Structures are given as C-alpha cells and as structure tokens.
Chains A and B, each alone.
Chain A
Amino acid sequence: MKRVLVVLTVLLFAGSLAFAAGGKKYRLFQDPKFTGLSYFELCAQGGEQAAKELGDDFVYTGSPEADVQKQVQSLQSVVAQKPDAIIVSAIDLNAVAPPLRKARSMGIKVVSYDADTAVDARDFFVNQMSYEGAARAMLDCALLDAPEGGEIAFIAASPTSPNHMAHIRIMTELTKTEAKYKVFKPVATQFAQDDEAKSIDVAINLMQAYPNLKVIISSSAVSAPAAARAIETIGKVGKVFATGVALPSSIKSYLKDGSEKAFFIWDPSKLGYLASYVAHYALDGSLKNQEGFKFTAGSLGEFTVGKDGEIVYGKPLFFTPDNIDQYNF
C-alpha cells in the first residue's frame, strides 16, 4: 500500500512538473544545415511533435543550399524575429557563431543538434552519437562487411564538417590502437559536399586509385548510398563494400539484394524531438548545464548532461538484411 502511495505521489509530482513546464508557450526555431534533405525534414518532424507535446510553437526554417553564408543569413533573420530558442545544425561551427552569440546575449537559448557550433555560441549540444560511438559503429559495420579487414577509405562532406572529420580522426586512431580494428588500413579521405553525383564519381575514382580497397565509409547520409551505387555501377559488388550513415529507405535495396551488409543511423525524428525538449527545459530553467545532470525527455526517457553541455542521444540503429524491413523512414 505504501509503495502504491509513493508511486502515485511521484507520478503526480512528475505530472505537475510536466504541466508546469508546459505552462508557458515558447517559440522554437529549427534551422538545419540545409532544407530539402529527408534526414533534416525528419528531424523537423520530431522537433515539431515534441513542441506540440510541450505546447510550444515550432518554426522550421533555413536555406535549401549547403552554403555557409546562406545559413548565417538565415540565422540572422531568425535572431531578428526574437524567438525563445534556436535549434541549429551548423555547416561550419565557427562561421555560425557570431549571430548565435548575439542571440545568447539577447537571452535566447541556443541548442545545437546533429552538427555542433563553437562551444560558447550555444547552451547545449544534442549529439546523436558521441563521436567515438559513431566511429565505432561505422567500424563495426565495416567489420560485418569485411571481417578479414583490408584498405578503407572515407568520404566526408567537407573538411569543415566537424562531426565527419571527428569521426574520421577517431576511426583512424582506432585502427591503430584497438585489436579488433587493426585489420583495417585507412588509405584516403575524399570530400563530396553531400552531393550524390559527386559522391559516385569520387567513390569510383577512389576504387580506381586503390585497387585493393575493401570498404568505403561515409559519415554523410548522401554519400553512403551513393558509394553503394558506385560499387554496383563499376561492377565490384562483393569485392568492395560501402557502409556508414544512411537512411534505411535509401539503402534498403542494397541490403535486400545482398550487395551491402550493414549500415547504421539514429532515428532523426527522435533526435529532433530530443532537441526540442532540451530547448524547452533550458528555457524554463529545469535543465542545468552541469555534468551529470539527469532529465527526462518526453517519451524518449532519461538523459544525462555531459561535458560542455553535450547531451548524447546515443541510440544507434543498425541495419542489416534481416531487420531492414522494420524501418520505414
């Protein structure tokens, strides 16, 4: 009986907290690297859903081009509208900092997601996977493709995408330090600006330059499926594998016909959902920027604040031919 009472009280308390949190209506603005990419559209959907649960207004805005200056202009425009919080995925972590710093000085909360900004330009960073977690995930996928190891190459968006470059750096390190990854030898890094045709050309040229290449790893959700396509085009299915970050819909056919074995990603809509919650809690003061601080984000569960305000979502989804049918995004 006592236990039931305790549970009831806790529930009531949590419920009232949620109610209090949802009391004030905030305006949340989400600005991705660029619009028009499924991945970011899904993040927006999640963000909007969270905002609805919290009773906030949600605006999705941004430029359709992957251009640094356009994102800065977009952010300046957002700041001028005096939102309560800005949720942003940065193309270039330092270039977007000035308008964000201005925003923070005006009392606007800044939450970065997917791709971080300069640390002093934002209050929190919702990282989909810790950089190390993502690096390990991609290498694990590569191991599924080619357990015997071999030469690997990386395709990233650009040298200034912080997450891609961090992944590559850590992956390179891991192949030197950890026993199970030592079978891999990184030979090259190329850039494809998140463009599909360029990714294919780059992948093909890579396979030409390194005839013993085994795996092409890409942190960019545009380049990973493109690399798979390139392998198919050039007729090296089964000799070279592609892996990395990709939306399930874009690599479903490759997993089904057996040309590829594993990819991974996190659920973008859940990432966006979490970002909205973080923004809201930052606004109403219930979220403190202290290492170790725990909070609950709606239906996603509990999260802990890490170093420098980084919150890791950390729930990777691995796609293999066996489970690909479960996912429809």
Chain B
Amino acid sequence: MIGTASGTRSIAQGLADRISRNSLRLRLVSVFISFLVLFVVFSFTSRNFFNFQNLKVIAFNASLLTIVACAEAIVVITRNLDVSVGSIIGLAGYFVAKYATAFPHSGVMIIVVGVALGAVLGILNGLSVAYGGIPSIVATLGTLAIFRGITIIIGRGIEVPSGNLPRWMIKGADLEILNVPFVIILAFVVVLILAFLLANMPIFRRAYAVGSNPGAAVFYGLRSNRVVLFAYTVCGALVGLAAFLYVSRVGTITVNLGRGWELTALAAVVIGGVSISGGSGNIVGVLLGALILSTIDNGLVLARAPEFWRMFIQGCAIVGAILLDATIERRIQTIFTRRRA
C-alpha cells in the first residue's frame, strides 16, 4: 500500500516538476499561437500581407521596439517599472545625433556614446529606486520629465537633419545581409544574448529571484539593491543602443523623439508573457510581443482599416494576451494540484 502510494506520489511529483518547468514554455507557446492566428487573419484581409517583402517590413518595424522592450523586460522581471525609456531614447538619441554631426569620423565611438549615456541615465533611475527607496513608477515618472526636459533645453528647438549624419550610419541602418536587414539581425542577436545571459549569468538569475519575492531576497542576502541597480543600468544601456539605431534609421531628429515609447514597450513586454509582478518571463516572448504589435499595425494598414481601430485592437490584444496567459497558468495549477493524490 505504502509503496504504491509513495510511488504514485513520486510520479505525480515528477509530472508536476515537468509541467512547471514547461509552464513557461507553454506560455510562450500561447503567445506564439496568438501570433499565428493574427497572421492567418491578416492574410485573408489583404493579399499584400503574406509575402517576403512585407514580412521583412513587419520584422523591421518590430526590431527597434524589440530592443527597447527587452530592456524594459529586464527591469520588469525585478518587479519594477521604467516609464522613462522614451525620454532616454530622446536624450541619448539627440546626443548621438549631435555628436555624430560634430565628429562624423569617430566611427564606433558614436555607438559607445549612445550606449554609455543610456547606461548613465539607467544608473540614475536605478539609484533612485534601489537606494532612494522611491517606488519605481514614481521615480521613473520623475526621470521621464527630467530627461525629456534636458533634451528639449539642450536642443533649443533645432532639428538635426539626416544630411548631417555620417553616411555610414544611414547606410548601416539600411544595410542588408543576404536580403535580411541588418537591424533585424541585430535585434535577434540581442535577444539571443539576453536569453542566454538571463538563463545562465548569476546576477540575472538573482534578478528573477528579487522580482519573485523581494522580501525573501533581502533575507537571503541577495543584495537586491545591487541587482536592481544593475537591471536599470542594463536597461539604460540597451535603450541607448536602440537610440543609436533610431537615429540611424529615422535620420531627421527632433527633440521630441522617442515620446510614448514606454507604453508600447510595456505592451510588448506584457503581451510577451512577462509577468508584471516580476519574477518570471522569457525574452523570446518579448520578441514575439513586439512582432505581434508590429503585425497588428501593418495588417491594419494593409486591410485599409481606419487609424483608430489600431488603438482599440492593440488594447484588446493586450487584455486578450494577459487573459490567455492567466488561463494557461491556472490550468497548469489545477492539473498540478489535482494530481497530487
């Protein structure tokens, strides 16, 4: 009797383990399925949708958002928010544009300047949240205003026309390798590197722990302050990279660049299955989230839908994605608890 019972229990345990390990992957699958459904729907609404050129466009438009959303995801995993990413794009981007105009031959330095400035701004965010004890939504609301204000003040209303930027930047943004735009490849590489780091590098693993249970993390000695500061710094640096790409891609830069990106990035993060209460989430999901948003945009223009339907559908998509996510999560939970004999 006892043997059988414990045997059953160990089988149940093994099954439960496997399910919980796969639950993250299951959520990813749900995001992927949503993506496929969208594809099917849009392929029917417009014959211009399903071709290589258009798919390239969707991926292209999503690539910048992917990098920013990945940056945001890292912060969200620690159970914090960064609503200042739009302003970081603004300040870092404007700085990059001005620097590139002034020193067009400095080559890689331009990229370094963007990433470095982004990192600095990220550090400022991280200090306020981790060491200043300011709730993240409040701190980054404040820095959103401060960074944007600084951008506009130093910009003094002057645009940087694309003609002033070094040609290699502009050409680089358009560059294609084997018919695939370089920017898409770059976004992919960023996602892959981050996925690897998040799964293996200790400080990133600690980020998951801190987000999962901040109180316990403190008692466990995880130095959550440092982890959070690190998360914000990485976020800022990635956003700085995105700002450089933004400048290369858009060309003509005004002081209002990047406005509103924080909400789109959050949307991509949320649709991608990253839990807003921290502690879990897969970077690949974020990539899918960005792709879904870009697909909706593209599909609606191709389907000749009026502009404002986009907002409505995006909003519903976010709610739908969260519902789907939670449903799957609960399903797993009920299977888990029911099996326990």
A–B direct touch in complex (beta carbons closer than 8 A): yes
What is A's interface to B at a CB cutoff of 8 Å? 34-38, 40-41, 64-66, 188, 190-191, 195-197, 200-202, 204-206, 208-209, 211, 222, 225-226, 229, 232-235, 247, 249-254, 256
Asked whether any CB of chain A lies closer than 8 Å to the CB of B2, the reply is: no
- Within 8 Å CB of B152, what residues of A? 35-36, 64
Q: Give Cα distance in the complex from A34 to B252, angstroms.
A: 18
The answer to whether B302 touches A229 (Cβ under 8 A) is: no
How many A-B pairs with Cβ below 8 Å? 114
A123 to chain B, nearest CB (A): 27
Quick one: given A209-B301, A211-B48, are A37 and B254 in contact (CB under 8 Å)? yes
Chain B residues positioned under 8 Å from A209 (CB to CB) = 46, 48, 301-302, 304
| B251 with A195: CB separation less than 8 A | no
Contact between chains at A196 and B48 (CB < 8 Å):
no
With contacts A37-B254, A38-B159, A222-B254 known, is A205 near B301, CB below 8 A?
yes
Does B215 interact with chain A (Cβ within 8 Å)? no
Contact flag A196-B253 (CB < 8 Å), given A205-B57, A233-B173: yes
A205-B250 in contact given A38-B157, A197-B257, A250-B161 (Cβ < 8 Å): no
On whether the beta carbons of B307 and A232 are closer than 8 Å, the reply is no
Does B61 lie within 8 Å of A250, measured CB to CB? no
Query: Which residues, 52 to 75 on B, are CB-close (under 8 Å) to A?
Result: 53-54, 57, 60-61, 64
Residue pair B252, A196 in contact (C-beta under 8 Å)? yes
Cα(A34)–Cα(B255), bound, Å: 11
> In the bound complex, do residue B252 and residue A225 qualify as a contact, i.e. CB atoms below 8 Å apart?
yes
| Cβ–Cβ < 8 Å partners of B307 in chain A | 190-191
CB-defined contacts of B302 to chain A, threshold 8 Å? 205, 208-209
Chain B: minimal CB distance from A100 (Å): 24
Which 5 pairs of residues, A with B, have the shortest CB-CB distance? A253-B163, A205-B301, A41-B157, A250-B161, A36-B255
B104 is an interface residue with CB less than 8 A from chain A: no
Task: Give bound CA distance, A211 to B249, whole Å.
Answer: 22
Q: Residue B214 at the A interface, CB < 8 A? A: no
User: Are B48 and A208 in contact (CB-based, < 8 A)?
Assistant: yes
Q: Which of B57, B162, B255 contacts A225 (CB 8 A)?
A: B162
Q: A229: nearest residue on chain B (CB-CB)?
A: B251
Picked from A34, A38, A250, the residue with its CB within 8 Å of the CB of B162 is A250
The distance from the CB of A69 to the nearest CB of chain B, in whole angstroms, is 16
Question: Within the complex, what minimum Cβ distance (angstroms) separates A245 from chain B?
Answer: 14
Closest residue on chain A to residue B148 by CB atoms: A64
Task: Tell me if B282 is interfacial: C-beta within 8 Å of chain A.
Answer: no
Q: Name the residue of chain A whose CB is nearest to the CB of B253.
A: A196
Distance between B23 CB and nearest chain A CB, rounded to angstroms: 35
Neighbouring A residues of B61 by C-beta, 8 Å: 201, 204-205
- Please state if A41 and B158 are interface contacts (CB–CB under 8 Å): yes
Using Cβ atoms and an 8 Å threshold, which residues of chain B touch A208? 48, 53-54, 57, 298, 301-302
Q: In the complex the two chains form, what is the Cα distance from A253 to B155 in whole Å?
A: 21
Query: Would you call B256 and A197 a contact (CB within 8 A)?
Result: no
Chain A residues near B297 (CB, 8 Å)?
A: 201, 205
Chain B residue at minimum C-beta to C-beta distance from A233: B174
CA distance A188 to B252 in the complex (A): 24
B16 to chain A, nearest CB (A): 45
B244 within 8 A of A: no
A323 to chain B: closest CB distance in Å?
16
Instruction: Provide the residues of chain B in CB contact with A252, threshold 8 Å.
Output: 161, 163
* In-complex Cβ contact of A232 among B155, B174, B256, B298 (8 A): B174
Contacts of B255 in A (CB 8 A): 36, 64
Instruction: Give A37 to B254 CA distance when docked, in angstroms.
Output: 7
Show 6 A/B contacts (Cβ-Cβ < 8 Å), sorted by A.
A36-B152, A64-B152, A200-B250, A235-B176, A249-B159, A252-B163
Contacts of B173 in A (CB 8 A): 233
- Return chain A residues, CB-CB under 8 Å to B176: 235
Contact A37 B159 (CB under 8 A): yes
Q: Are A206 and B157 in contact (CB under 8 A)?
A: no
Is B246 interfacial (CB 8 A cutoff)?
yes
Interface residues of B in 222-250 (CB under 8 A from A): 246, 249-250
Contact A197 B250 (CB under 8 A): yes
Q: How far is the CA of A234 from the CA of B252 in the complex (A)?
A: 17
Kindly list chain A residues whose C-beta atoms are within 8 Å of the C-beta of B256: 34, 36-37, 64-66, 195
In the complex formed, the residue of A with least CB distance to B301 is A205
Chain B hits for A253, CB < 8 A: 161-163
Q: Mark B157-199, 1 if CB is under 8 A from A, else 0.
A: 1110111000000100110100000000000000000000000
Given contacts A205-B298, A208-B57, contact A195 B259 (CB under 8 A): yes
**B161-A36 in contact (CB<8A):** no
Using CB atoms, name the residue of chain B closest to A253. B163
Contact A225 B251, beta carbon cutoff 8 Å: yes
Cα–Cα, bound, A254→B161 (Å): 11
